[in-house]
């Protein structure tokens, strides 16, 4: 493979990885935008989605639907994962964050951390410590052009990711509830004065954000072939870096940040010793937080833009 196709391949991989990071980052950014809290449990919600995915998929595979009703299978798998995690997200908000809305930031952060530990260990108990393999759904076939290849699986996942992100944009800009979310993120008190129910708006945010994370979880499982109870941690950090990089609270920012972080990771792994790629991501995170905490698409510090 010559250099240009190699680079093209890396770009494809970067966009692929980036879209997944973007989906997870969206969950962070939406929640932070509306209640100014880092949802530490988000990584676990992502993992839970992946587990639901593998459970449902395995069941459907056993009755043969993966071959016969592929699209329907995918719809069911993703919907169930997203629906379950949406409910789980609301539960987390209700139990761990809502009671602390008026308390100090430290308390809310610690509560979030506690939730994260609780959920990840819960999953460890029920799902075991080892990798849980995903059924092979996509073959190795794909499209080749200019010396690089995209597998069918990658195409499917990227299309789905884009579809989800577009849907989110439409929801947030065109629907009544979506605009209520933006308004709440920009000025809570004013939103209440206009009659917007803050509690409900926050709940909806905690349904959509984690649901997107769950979709990303299923995608990761489908692509990499396995899920583990602790895979959420690393993805969480990277997605958080993406959200900050793009400007926390900004939906387009999360998408942009995801692509950039994906790009950095892929490019690093391609040309430099890949064992250190995670160190790179962490370093990028710290640099961003130190040099430009408002991110690329951000204007002030920690301003919320949805």
- Range 75-94, binding other proteins (CB under 8 A): 87-88, 90-92, 94
116 is a contact residue toward other proteins (CB under 8 A)? yes
If binding is defined by CB under 8 A, does position 302 make contact with other proteins?
A: yes
Q: Which is nearest to 227 in space by CA: 113, 150, 126, 139?
A: 126
| Least CB distance to other proteins at residue 89 (A) | 10
- Give least dist CB 165 to other proteins, A: 19
Is the CB of residue 250 less than 8 Å from the CB of residue 26? no
Compute the least distance from the CB of residue 86 to other proteins, in Å.
11
> Which of the residues 256 through 275 are near other proteins (CB under 8 A)?
275
Q: Tell me which DSSP letter residue 256 carries.
A: H
Q: Residues binding other proteins: what is the number (CB under 8 A)?
A: 81
Stretch that binds other proteins, among 75-83, 109-117, 220-228, 263-271 (CB under 8 A): 109-117
Q: Give me the least distance between CB of 5 and other proteins, in Å please.
A: 30
Q: Of residues 1, 72, 114, 166, which one binds other proteins by CB under 8 A?
A: 114
Q: Cα separation of 9 and 150, whole Å?
A: 8
203 binds other proteins (CB under 8 A): no
CB 161 within 8 A of CB 24: no
Contact flag: residue 283 with other proteins (CB under 8 A): yes
Output the smallest distance, CB 8 to other proteins, in A.
29
Nearest distance from C-beta of residue 28 to other proteins, angstroms: 11
Cα-based distances in Å from 193 to 68, 117, 183, 204: 53, 37, 11, 19
Residue of 17, 34, 148, 196 that binds other proteins (CB under 8 A): 196
Residue whose CB is less far from other proteins, 212 or 306: 306
CA distance 280 to 224: 21
Q: Which has the closest alpha carbon to 212: 246, 229, 235, 234?
A: 235
Establish if 109 lies at the interface with other proteins (CB under 8 A): yes
Nearer to other proteins, 39 or 154 (CB): 39
59 forms part of the interface with other proteins (CB under 8 A): yes
Q: Which of 85, 90, 36, 87 is nearest to 199 (CA)?
A: 90
| CA distance readout (Å), 96 to 4, 237, 240, 249, 288 | 50, 20, 20, 21, 28
Handedness of CA 167, 173, 174, 176 (dihedral sign): positive
**65 forms part of the interface with other proteins (CB under 8 A):** no
Instruction: Return the residues of window 227-256 that contact other proteins according to CB under 8 A.
Output: 233, 237, 240, 244
What's the Cα-to-Cα distance from 122 to each of 48, 95, 114, 126, rounded to whole Å? 10, 16, 12, 6
- Are 303 and 293 in contact by the 8 Å Cβ rule? The answer is no
């Amino acid at each position: 493979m010559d250099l240009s196709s190699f680079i093209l391949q890396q770009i494809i991989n970067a966009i692929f990885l980036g879209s997944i990071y973007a989906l997870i980052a969206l969950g962070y950014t939406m929640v932070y935008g509306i209640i100014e809290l880092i949802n530490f449990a988000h990584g676990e919600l992502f993992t839970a989605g992946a587990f639901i995915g593998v459970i449902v998929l395995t069941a459907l595979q056993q009755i043969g639907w993966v071959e016969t009703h592929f699209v329907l299978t995918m719809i069911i798998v993703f919907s169930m994962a997203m629906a379950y995690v949406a409910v789980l997200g609301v539960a987390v908000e209700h139990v761990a964050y809502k009671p602390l809305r008026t308390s100090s930031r430290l308390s809310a952060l610690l509560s979030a951390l506690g939730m994260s530990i609780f959920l990840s260990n819960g999953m460890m108990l029920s799902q075991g410590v080892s990798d849980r393999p995903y059924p092979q759904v996509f073959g190795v076939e794909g499209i080749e052009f200019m010396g690089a290849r995209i597998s069918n699986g990658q195409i499917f996942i990227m299309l789905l990711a884009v579809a989800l992100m577009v849907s989110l944009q439409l929801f947030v800009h065109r629907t009544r509830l979506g605009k209520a979310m933006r308004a709440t993120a920009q000025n809570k008190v004013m939103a209440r004065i206009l009659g917007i129910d803050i509690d409900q708006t926050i709940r909806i945010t905690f349904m959509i954000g984690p649901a997107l994370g769950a979709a990303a979880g299923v995608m990761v499982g489908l692509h990499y072939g396995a899920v583990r109870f602790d895979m959420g941690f690393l993805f969480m950090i990277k997605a958080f870096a993406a959200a900050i990089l793009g400007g926390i609270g900004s939906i387009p920012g999360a998408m942009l940040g995801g692509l950039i972080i994906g790009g950095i990771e892929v490019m690093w792994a391609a040309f430099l010793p890949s064992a250190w790629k995670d160190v790179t991501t962490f370093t990028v995170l710290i640099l961003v937080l130190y040099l430009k905490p408002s991110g690329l698409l951000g204007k002030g510090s920690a301003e919320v833009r949805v």
